[in-house]
Chains A and B, each alone.
Chain A
Amino acid sequence: MHSLFLKEINAFFGSLLGYLVLALFLVALGLIVWVFPESSVLEYGFADLEALFTYTPYVFTFLVPALSMRAIADERKTGTWELLRTSPLSLVQIILAKYLALLCLVLVALLPTLLYFYSIIQLGDPIGNLDQAGFFGSWIGLIMIGAVFAAVGLFASALTSQQVVAFVLGVFLCFILYFGFSALGDMQLGNISYWASDLSLSFHYINLSRGVIDSADLFFLFGMIWLFLGGAVLVLRNK
């Protein structure tokens, strides 16, 4: 299984697309957090990274499906899927190897934002004046959002053999999960709104960003990952 995992990572860093996606992600975040006057920490004047944690899920909605779109769609299109499926790896192992590789890439994308953490500590007055629990809660929240989106993206990639279709589907599903349900929650539709907001990723993400890591939120997020990976296995089993 590890050789497939390594192959996925290599394929990403062996292609221009990989670096392009990572670079765009970091440039976009850098601009949002430090430059754009609407959201810039420097203009805002408070030593926190609200901007980073509010806008990263928006960027993730596009970034993660872009990373995951090839994962299965491309293998099916070129026929190399047949090589994998006739190897001793089981379908679950194949999906898992691909998922873990994606997760690593999401982590790699997020790691440089720890520099922001250091910068904000230095910018605080007095130095070090920062809600650290809040920061790390949000940061773990971001990783979880990335992890859920990766599972969603993989699922979308399993549905079709066209990369572009997988990308559009992935973006759409991520959008619905993160923004759609919470918007439904805001619509004042009684019980439906209550359930919808409970189902939305942003609801659980905001819970985590308070710095309280609640088992219910983690359970929900891991449940989503399990659901979409399981869905991918189910879809591919009969193909």
Chain B
Amino acid sequence: MDTLDAGSAAPGRPYGPPREDAAHAVTALYQAHAVSMIRIALLMLGDRSAAEDVVQEAFFGLFRRWHGLSDPGKAEAYVRSAVLNGCRDAVRRRDRRTRRDLAAAFDMLDPMSAEAAALISEDRRRILAGLRLLPGRQREALVCRYYLELSEGETASAMGVSRGTVKSTTSRAVAALGRMLREGLC
């Protein structure tokens, strides 16, 4: 995964506003990857609007830091990492808000649009409902492993944890999901 130090410009490049070429490059990347990134964020957040916001922020971050990107070829990985980070922040904030704001709690109960609900079978909707009830890290592990089909090592890198943690987190997430389904909690 590529990393960026937001405060450091590449050697020999004077710091300044992103240039026109950055706008073109990031726009092209957005056109190519925005939908897939919104999908990831939707799985993490369960909220289309919030997912779009996180993706916008991730691409805007890329735009602002374009000149610090050591390998533009890794821009997609960078954006994906930024999206996952953004989702983590959003989940953290939402969890706190939900815990304290019951309007948000009610909103959490009805996360799926009617259109989405019509397209997804009852059994799978239950799985998705269970997914939303999992702690954020467990949900992230399942998204990385089973939706993005990342390896344990890639997932560990994306989540910033060890491979062992990925393994145990994924295992616990599946067990928890199974238990929720078994007990009719979702």
Binding between chains A and B = no
